[in-house]
Amino acid sequence: MARRRRIYEGKAKVMFEGPEPGTLVQYFKDDATAFNNQKKGTITGKGVLNNRISEFLMLRLAEIGIPTHFVRRLNMREQLVREVEIIPVEVVIRNIVAGSLAKRFALAEGTPLPRSIVEYYYKSDELGDPLVSEEHITAFGWATPQDIDDILALALRINDFLLGLFLGVGLKLVDFKLEFGRLYEESGEMRLVLADEISPDNCRLWDTKTNEKLDKDRFRRDLGGVEEAYQEVARRLGILLEGGPNDLKAPESIQ
Ligand code: TMP
């Protein structure tokens, strides 16, 4: 098979040129980083699980009318996606106090928020993803006021839906991060779509009964049982691996 052109390599994924114009192949790695790359490691099988978990969630969201970049899963570690222009803003939605919100305001982790909070961070590794306001986003031309309105409405719909979906499998959706992209149709029309991935790498998920953390905080905070946590999320969502747990140990080489 001909070598594919690598378009972009991030911390957890690689984007390759897709089979048709306007498509990309999104490859999920086992690499994990935290605190803006200061902590590095490998979570065995993470790429396989996140590929499946993100596929599952993107498909459920598409069913309720959320436009996404997802086309179809290609294999254990790859999915075909529509090529979009990523808006350089990380959209964080919070339902329960945790992580940087707990730190910034000296709040106890686990305190339910009276209403969901949406925050924007400028996507820049060099700057450490600083918190920004709508004013920064529009003044610096990262998105228009209309884009922000659309993104906020989508983010809240996604949050409502995912809160219920996860609650149904005994998980609290504490907070999560989304990315959106501009999709240019052949007609020249532009649509905002949900891009990137939704997985335990970018969600905080706690067991509803015990508050056990089942997400990347196990890696960030050296809590142990990292692989098992990702597997547990997949298991609860009813995502079964074709070849059983052994599937997780045989990463396909990146072409
Ligand atoms: P935070 O509490 O560290 O700001 O994180 C909020 C949520 O966003 C949490 O679910 C993890 C996710 N997140 C990312 O996906 N990427 C990032 O770079 C950061 C900082 C957080």
Q: Is 172 in the pocket of ligand 1 (CB under 6 A)?
A: no
Domain-located, residue 17: yes
- Which residue, 5, 14, 6, is CA-closest to 77? 14
Burial state string for 37-51 with b = 16 or more CB within 10 A and e = fewer than 16: eeeeeebebbbbbbb
Are 92 and 80 members of one domain?
no
Atom of ligand 1 nearest to the CA of 174: 10
Q: Ligand 1: which of 202, 205, 214, 220 to mutate, most ligand atoms within 8 Å of CB?
A: 202
Ligand 1 atom 12, closest CA: 202
Q: Are residues 165 and 61 in the same domain?
A: no
Could you tell me if 202 and 104 lie in one domain?
yes
pLDDT at residue number 3: 73
Domain that holds residue 193: 86-207
Scanning the structure block, which residue is given the tokens 């779509």? 193
- For residue 118, report the distance from its CA to the centre of ligand 1, in Å: 12
Domain annotation covers residue 115: yes
The pLDDT assigned to 248 comes to 72
Residue 22 lies inside a defined structural domain of this protein: yes
CA of 138 to the centre of ligand 1 (A): 22
Considering the domain boundaries, does residue 124 fall inside one?
A: yes
Do 122 and 150 share a domain, yes or no? yes
Residue nearest to atom 2 of ligand 1 (CA): 99
Q: What is the CATH number of the domain that holds 42?
A: 3.30.200.20
User: Judging by beta carbons within 10 Å of its beta carbon (0-12, 13-18, 19+), is residue 92 exposed, middle or buried?
Assistant: buried
Does residue 203 sit within a domain? Answer: yes
Q: How far does the centroid of ligand 1 lie from the alpha carbon of residue 202, in Å?
A: 6
Check the CA dihedral 225-231-235-241 and report its sign.
Answer: negative
Q: Could you tell me if 63 and 99 lie in one domain?
A: no
* Residues 163 and 92 grouped into a single domain: yes
Pick 89 or 245 by higher pLDDT.
Answer: 89
Phi, psi angle pair for 71, to nearest 5°: -105, -65
Residues 39 and 69 in one domain: yes
Segment 214-237 shows an average pLDDT of 98
Q: What is the CATH number of the domain that holds 199?
A: 3.30.470.20
Q: What average pLDDT does this structure show over 136-154? A: 98
Q: CB within 8 A of 166, min separation 6: which ones?
A: 172, 173, 205
Q: Are residues 140 and 197 in the same domain?
A: yes
Ligand 1: atom nearest CA of 36 is: 18
| Residue 75 and residue 163 in one domain | no
Per-residue pLDDT at 255: 45
Count Cα atoms within 13 angstroms, Cβ side, for 157.
15
pLDDT at 114 over 70: yes
Give me the mean pLDDT over the 109-114 stretch: 98
In this prediction, residue 135 has a pLDDT band, given cuts at 50, 70 and 90, of very high
Question: What is the 250 CA–ligand 1 centroid distance (Å)?
Answer: 28
Q: Which two tokens stand for residue 190?
A: 């532009």
Quote the tokens at residue 58. 């993107």
Mutate to test the pocket of ligand 1, among 57, 90, 177 (most ligand atoms within 8 A of CB): 177
Q: What is the pLDDT of residue 250?
A: 53
- Strands (DSSP E) found in the chain: 6-9, 13-17, 23-28, 31-34, 39-42, 70-73, 78-82, 85-86, 89-96, 112-122, 131-132, 171-184, 190-195, 203-207
The total number of structural domains in the chain stands at 2
Q: Pick the residue with more confidence: 225 or 4?
A: 225
Let me know if residue 220 belongs to a domain: no
Q: Residue 218: inside a domain, yes or no?
A: no
Residue 73 in contact with ligand 1 by CB distance below 6 A: no
Residue 1: which pLDDT band, with cuts at 50, 70 and 90?
A: low
Note if the pTM is more than 0.85. yes
Residue with tokens 């490859």: 27
Q: Is 92 in the pocket of ligand 1 (CB under 6 A)?
A: yes
Q: What integer pLDDT is reported at residue 44 of this predicted model?
A: 97
Are 203 and 125 contained in the same domain?
yes
Specify whether 97 is located in the same domain as 139.
yes
- Express each pLDDT in 165-174 by its tens digit: 999 999 999 9
Q: Give domain status of residue 200, yes or no.
A: yes
Per-residue pLDDT band at 94 (split at 50, 70, 90): very high
Average pLDDT of span 152-170: 98
Q: 90 CA to middle of ligand 1, Å? A: 9
Residue entry with tokens 């978990």:
53
Average of per-residue pLDDT across 123-145: 97
Q: What is the mean pLDDT of residues 113-138?
A: 98
Q: What is the mean pLDDT of the chain?
A: 95
Mean pLDDT along residues 97-122: 98
71 and 96 in one domain?
Answer: no
Distance CA 242, CA 58 (A): 20
Task: Report pLDDT digits (tens) over 229-253.
Answer: 999 999 999 997 666 666 676 555 5
CB distance 42 to ligand 1 below 6 Å: no
pLDDT at 246: 61
What is the reported pLDDT for 75? 97
